């Protein structure tokens, strides 16, 4: 009875602090956001012992006036939200902060010293707050002529030992700190940042003139991504999406390098990982993730930023529009780069070649006067029976047909070569696996198996979108014996499989009769194909329609129609392969996201030989 009491302001602040300040990185995030909101051009940060011992942040923003210093540390005191005593416009927020909670929360659980010089004043003032106890303000020394604010936070969570127990190692707190600073630094290329951990520089960024992200991405994620990436810039229904995304060949094994900014606010949206997966689905293996730095700009009204105390999540008025916009833009960009060389990949190749050259006992120099011995004439095998019929010139797309108008001789003649095509003129096949082609600016090496697998997949997808996959009748139907469960699973989907070009029937217990197979695949091993499909389908929910997993099914099938490594190709076939790659979307990666070709420029080759 009579046991309900109002909590003291101190305890209220500690409880509230628990939501906003979860770990050192979240305190630092709030402090940096304040600096950015204050118009700082440079933000310098020092953290000791994972930020638990000390966080120090200095900015050159507007500063805080003497009179306002004691107000800034009060709960729900902010200069950023106009409150007419009745309502505030929470739908139109243009600053990172607006809740007036960060400074009082940090002050409630740590020892905080704020020093600031307002831009209209020549004096600097200081206020201290320790575990919620505020000391009177006093004047302080201020180095430098500019306005700004310097905040030092010591012994975070000393006042809430329970929370202190939850802290992880210094190492993992440091990782979280670096992540927070990088995200904010990425969002504002024009602002210079530096971060010191235990006295050592962790990273530093320059002030960039432009507000576009490429320059900053180079500082933070690496030049590899900034120089060799998909550039996104689209707009739909007043929403602009811009930024950079990695080529499928430069993926990572986790999704840590996926950054999303909404009106320049770094947000963690669980949607992003799924959206990225959907967009890169058929160019990346399941366990690979693209690198993304995507910026959304939309009217503040269309996004609610007040859904999370730490303001790291947002809610979109129309989430489907945003999802669709991102997936569509990424897919479009991926489709466009089908025949683009990955230059960083080429430089890795050069690096590797350079190393291996140094390791060989090659003679120090070669004397000129080469005797040119022509390579053995490629054996004209004609069209291999497993070679899909679409490889014949008659059905070739336009540029490919043009390639065939050249006089056909047994050997590829340099003069008549389609060398000015992006993938050049095929010159040789090495190890029965790699096609080497000459272009105007260098050479191209194609992995014929990987490339062909991709082409078959793309053809199947196109056919599926149009009339369905054409089938070919097996003259003598194959009977494939299989495990009874696999048989049942496959037969249950027989109607659907027919649309994929595969006609099967039950054949007593534990066997399946294969009547027709996808014509695109050419001659295949039906047993292997059925086994693979059974494996794929085993992972599906029973009620799931195969069409929902069209990419998985088709890529399983495409593997079976590929020119396996080890088959000899004639010049006509090699050139046809190159021409088809040029006109096929996404042909730069195999179905597993590996590159299908690399380009080496003459420049690179000259470097390799020390000519440059
Ligand atoms: P919010 O950012 O939500 O307004 P905070 O508790 O983070 O709340 O900060 C309270 C107020 O203190 C801010 O509204 C701002 O006026 C002032 N302030 C905090 N940090 C700085 C800073 N680095 N430079 C200038 N003013 C600041
Ligand atoms: Mg704030």
* Contact of 203 with 47, CB cutoff 8 Å: no
**What is the mean pLDDT of the segment spanning 172-177?**
92
Quick one: 129 and 247 in the same domain?
no
Pairing of strands 303-304, 258-262: unpaired
Quick one: 196 and 317 in the same domain?
no
Given 184, 204, 224, the domain boundary residue is 204
Would you say residue 429 has pLDDT above 50? yes
Q: Is the CB of 103 under 6 A from ligand 1?
A: yes
Quick one: 270 and 288 in the same domain?
yes
Per-residue confidence at 345, pLDDT binned at 50, 70, 90? low
Q: Is the CB of 115 under 6 A from ligand 1?
A: no
Quick one: 328 and 394 in the same domain?
no
Cα-to-centroid distance, 584 and ligand 1 (Å): 54
Residue 593 lies in a domain: yes
Task: Give tens-digit pLDDT for 136-150.
Answer: 999 999 987 889 999
Quick one: 493 and 388 in the same domain?
yes
First-to-last C-alpha distance (Å) of the chain: 89
Cα-to-centroid distance, 98 and ligand 2 (Å): 7
Q: Report the CATH number that the domain containing residue 76 is assigned in CATH.
A: 3.30.565.10
Per-residue confidence at 93, pLDDT binned at 50, 70, 90? confident
Weakest-pLDDT range from 87-101, 320-334, 338-352, 458-472: 338-352
Task: Give tens-digit pLDDT for 195-229.
Answer: 999 999 998 988 877 667 777 887 787 766 777 78
Quick one: 192 and 238 in the same domain?
no
Quick one: 192 and 230 in the same domain?
no
Task: Give tens-digit pLDDT for 287-313.
Answer: 788 889 999 999 998 999 988 888 888
Q: Is the CB of 34 under 6 A from ligand 1?
A: yes
Q: Report the CATH number that the domain containing residue 281 is assigned in CATH.
A: 3.30.230.10
Q: What is the pLDDT of residue 228?
A: 74
3-state SS record for 56-113:
EEEECCCCCCCCCHHHHCCCCCCCCCCECCCCECCCCCCCCCCCCCHHHHHHHHCEEE
CA distance 348 to 82: 54
Would you say residue 27 has pLDDT above 80? yes
* Contact of 114 with 151, CB cutoff 8 Å: yes
Per-residue confidence at 173, pLDDT binned at 50, 70, 90? very high
Ligand nearest to the CA of 104: 1
Q: Report the CATH number that the domain containing residue 406 is assigned in CATH.
A: 3.30.1370.100
Quick one: 277 and 302 in the same domain?
yes
Q: Is the CB of 75 under 6 A from ligand 1?
A: no
> Do you know the residue count of the chain?
612
- pLDDT over 90 percentage in the chain: 34
Q: Is the CB of 72 under 6 A from ligand 1?
A: yes
* Contact of 125 with 142, CB cutoff 8 Å: no
Q: Which two tokens stand for residue 315?
A: 């809610």
CA distance 436 to 425: 8
Given 279, 313, 336, the domain boundary residue is 336
CA distances from 386 to 452, 453, 608 (A): 12, 13, 39
Cα-to-centroid distance, 20 and ligand 2 (Å): 10
**What is the mean pLDDT of the segment spanning 59-69?**
96
Residue nearest to atom 23 of ligand 1 (CA): 35
Signed CA dihedral, 42, 47, 51, 53: sign only: negative
Cα-to-centroid distance, 43 and ligand 1 (Å): 15
Cα-to-centroid distance, 528 and ligand 2 (Å): 61
* Contact of 252 with 291, CB cutoff 8 Å: yes
Task: Give tens-digit pLDDT for 352-372.
Answer: 555 444 433 333 333 233 233
Name which of 232, 255, 222 is nearest 347 in CA terms: 222
Cα-to-centroid distance, 74 and ligand 2 (Å): 12
Residue 366 lies in a domain: no
* Contact of 570 with 381, CB cutoff 8 Å: yes
Given 336, 359, 390, the domain boundary residue is 336
**Total number of domains in the chain:** 3
Domain that holds residue 301: 213-336
Quick one: 171 and 234 in the same domain?
no
CA distance 217 to 185: 9
Q: Is the CB of 26 under 6 A from ligand 1?
A: no
Q: Is the CB of 80 under 6 A from ligand 1?
A: yes
Quick one: 473 and 447 in the same domain?
yes
Quick one: 71 and 162 in the same domain?
yes
Quick one: 176 and 238 in the same domain?
no
């Amino acid at each position: 009875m009579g046991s309900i009491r109002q909590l003291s302001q101190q305890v209220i602040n500690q409880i509230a602090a628990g939501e906003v300040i979860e770990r050192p990185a979240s305190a630092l995030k709030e402090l940096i956001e304040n600096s950015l909101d204050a118009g700082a051009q440079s933000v310098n940060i020092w953290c000791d012992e994972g930020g638990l011992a000390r966080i120090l942040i200095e900015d050159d923003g507007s500063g805080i006036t003497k009179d306002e210093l004691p107000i800034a540390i009060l709960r729900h005191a902010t200069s950023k939200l106009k409150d007419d005593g009745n309502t505030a416009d929470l739908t139109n927020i243009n600053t990172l902060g607006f809740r007036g909670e960060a400074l009082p929360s940090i002050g409630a659980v740590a020892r905080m010293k704020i020093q600031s010089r307002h831009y209209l004043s020549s004096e600097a003032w200081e206020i201290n707050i320790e575990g919620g106890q505020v000391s009177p303000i006093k004047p302080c020394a201020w180095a430098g002529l500019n306005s700004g604010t310097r905040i030092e936070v010591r012994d975070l969570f000393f006042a809430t030992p329970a929370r202190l127990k939850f802290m992880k190692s210094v190492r993992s707190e440091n990782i979280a700190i670096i992540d927070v600073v990088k995200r904010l630094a990425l969002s504002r290329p024009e602002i210079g940042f530096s971060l010191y951990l235990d006295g050592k520089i962790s990273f530093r960024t320059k002030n960039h003139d432009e507000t576009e992200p490429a320059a900053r991405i180079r500082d933070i994620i690496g030049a590899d991504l900034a120089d060799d990436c998909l550039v996104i810039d689209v707009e739909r229904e007043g929403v602009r999406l811009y930024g950079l995304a990695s080529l499928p060949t430069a993926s990572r094994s986790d999704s840590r390098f996926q950054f999303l900014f909404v009106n320049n606010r770094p947000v963690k949206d669980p949607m992003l990982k799924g959206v990225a997966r959907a967009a890169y689905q058929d160019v990346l293996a399941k366990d690979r993730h693209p690198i993304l730095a995507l910026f959304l700009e939309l009217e503040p009204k269309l996004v609610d930023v007040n859904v999370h105390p730490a303001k790291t999540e947002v809610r979109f008025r129309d989430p489907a529009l945003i999802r669709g916009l991102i997936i569509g833009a990424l897919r479009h960009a991926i489709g466009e780069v089908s025949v683009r060389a990955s230059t960083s990949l080429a430089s890795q190749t050069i690096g590797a070649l350079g190393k291996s050259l140094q390791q060989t006992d090659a003679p120090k120099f070669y004397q000129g006067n080469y005797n040119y011995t022509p390579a053995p004439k490629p054996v004209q095998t004609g069209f291999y029976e497993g070679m899909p019929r679409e490889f014949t010139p008659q059905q070739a797309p336009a540029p490919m047909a043009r390639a065939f108008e050249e006089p056909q001789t047994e050997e590829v003649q340099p003069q008549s070569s389609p060398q000015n095509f992006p993938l050049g003129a095929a010159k040789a096949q090495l190890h029965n696996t790699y096609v080497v082609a000459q272009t105007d600016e260098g050479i191209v090496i194609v992995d014929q198996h990987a490339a062909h697998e991709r082409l078959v997949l793309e053809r199947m997808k196109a056919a599926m979108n149009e009339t369905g996959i054409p089938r070919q009748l097996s003259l003598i139907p194959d009977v494939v014996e299989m495990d009874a469960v696999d048989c049942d699973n496959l037969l249950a989907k027989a109607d659907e499989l027919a649309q994929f070009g595969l006609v099967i029937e039950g054949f007593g217990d534990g066997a399946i009769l294969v009547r027709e197979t996808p014509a695109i695949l050419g001659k295949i091993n039906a047993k292997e194909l059925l086994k693979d499909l059974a494996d794929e389908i085993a992972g599906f929910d029973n009620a799931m329609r195969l069409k929902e997993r069209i990419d998985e099914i088709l890529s399983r099938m495409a593997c079976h129609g590929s020119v396996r490594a080890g088959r000899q190709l004639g010049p006509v076939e090699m050139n046809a392969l190159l021409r088809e790659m040029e006109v096929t979307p996404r042909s730069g990666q195999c179905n597993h996201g590996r590159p299908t070709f690399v380009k080496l420029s003459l420049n690179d080759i000259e470097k390799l030989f020390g000519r440059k």
